[in-house]
A = this chain, B = another copy of it.
Amino acid sequence: MPEDRTNKVSCSNYRCEIEVALEIISGKWNALILWTLGTEGTKRFSELKRSLSGVTQKMLTQQLRTLEKHGIVTRTIYPEVPPVVEYSLTEMGKRLIPIFKDLDIWGKEFIEYRKTL
C-alpha cells in the first residue's frame, strides 16, 4: 500500500513498483484467492473456502478484507437468511491474471529445471 510503503519498500524514489504489486499478492492465500476468482469467476465465501483447501475461515476472511480494501476484489452482500456473500475481481484485479499465468508457467519450468540441478 502506498501509504506505509516507505516502511516496507526500498525501491528508491518510485523507480519501480514491483514491491507494491507483491505486497498485494503476497500473503499465504492472496494469490490463490485471486487466481481462483480469476479463472472461475464470482464465488461465495463457502465456495471459495472449498476451492482453497486448507485455508482457515479466519485467514480467508482476513485476506479477502485486505484485497477488498485495496480495490482488488468486490464484496457483495445479499441480505438473506442464511446470509450470502459473493466475491469477484475488480478490473484492477483482473489485470493480475495474465501475470499469474506467466508465474504459473515459470513455476512449472522451474520445477523441471530443479530436477536438472
Contact = CB atoms under 8 A, between A and B. Distances in A.
A109 to B, nearest CB: 7
Given A18-B35, A18-B103, A71-B117, 9 more contacts: A17-B108, A18-B32, A19-B32, A20-B110, A20-B111, A22-B26, A92-B110, A99-B99, A99-B102
B18 A107 contact: yes
What 6 pairs between A and B have smallest CB-CB spacing? Answer: A17-B107, A20-B107, A21-B103, A21-B107, A10-B54, A18-B103
Nearest to A30: B22
A78 interface: no
A100 interface: yes
A52 interface: yes
